[in-house]
Amino acid sequence: MCVRYPKYGVASCAGIVLVGGVIFGNELFSYLRTSTGAVRESVREAVPIEFELQRARDLIDDILPEIHANVRLIAEDEVEIAVLEKDLVSSADQLQTDRRLLGQIREKLETQNVSYEIGNRHYSRKQLAEQAALKLARLKDAEMIQASKKRLLETRQKSLQAAMQMLDRAKNRKTQLAQKVESLVAQHRLVKASSVG
């Protein structure tokens, strides 16, 4: 029995559309849209101003935590970006020093000597070649780390931009709602004044 009800609902809706199409013709959907708008407007007008005012204030209260969360997120991103930028500068300086030192070792290896002096230390050719290989491996690792830090910085900067846009949108909504509250308060005063008069 319950299975048949949806069929009756669909059949009755189809019948109403068919009858409406015969009566109103091509303008049926225009009439439906206009009547739906009229019903919606009359329902809106039936809602008391006090209710609309409280609703707008509640919406403002709902936006405030979003604004605070975005401000906190922006502050965290700005701090992390500053730390990453400082770290990238010091890492770049260290990479430059390591490259220069590796270049010096390679230059020394180009000459065929039994031992080499770097700073105050003496190295055999084999030890110096091992040092060069070790420094090259460390340099490649450092370059990979540097590249990943740059990607992380870019991600943080995008996150900061997104948080700033969300904060701007939330502030705009709050401003619009505050203006709506002011308008409703003025309208409420008018209604009260007219009812007293």
Tokens in use for 164?
Answer: 């700033």
Is pLDDT at 71 greater than 60 in this prediction?
yes
Closest CA to 54 of 193, 185, 187, 192: 185
Q: Specify whether 79 is located in the same domain as 32.
A: no
Which one has a higher pLDDT value, 160 or 19?
160
**Residue-level pLDDT at 108:** 81
Q: Specify whether 181 is located in the same domain as 117.
A: yes
Among 42-56, 64-78, 159-173, which is the least confidently predicted range? 42-56
Q: Specify whether 58 is located in the same domain as 94.
A: yes
Phi-psi region of 25 (alpha: psi -120 to 50; beta: other; left: phi over 0): left
Q: What is the mean pLDDT of the chain?
A: 82
Q: Which amino acid would we find at residue 33?
A: R
What backbone phi and psi angles, to 5 degrees, belong to 70?
-65, -40
Phi-psi region of 193 (alpha: psi -120 to 50; beta: other; left: phi over 0): alpha
Which one has a higher pLDDT value, 160 or 194?
160
Q: Specify whether 71 is located in the same domain as 124.
A: yes
Number of domains in the chain: 2
* DSSP H or E run through 117: strand 115-118
| Alpha-carbon span 115 to 72, nearest angstrom | 59
| Alpha-carbon span 50 to 58, nearest angstrom | 12
In this prediction the pTM is: 0.58
Q: Which domain holds residue 19?
A: 1-46
Q: Specify whether 161 is located in the same domain as 100.
A: yes
Dihedral sign from CA coordinates of 132, 138, 141, 146: negative
Which one has a higher pLDDT value, 30 or 131?
131
Q: Specify whether 128 is located in the same domain as 42.
A: no
If you ran DSSP here, which 8-state letter would residue 112 be given?
-
Helix axes 125-196, 49-110, angle to 10 degrees: 170
Q: Specify whether 68 is located in the same domain as 19.
A: no
pLDDT tier, 154 (very low <50, low <70, confident <90, very high otherwise): very high
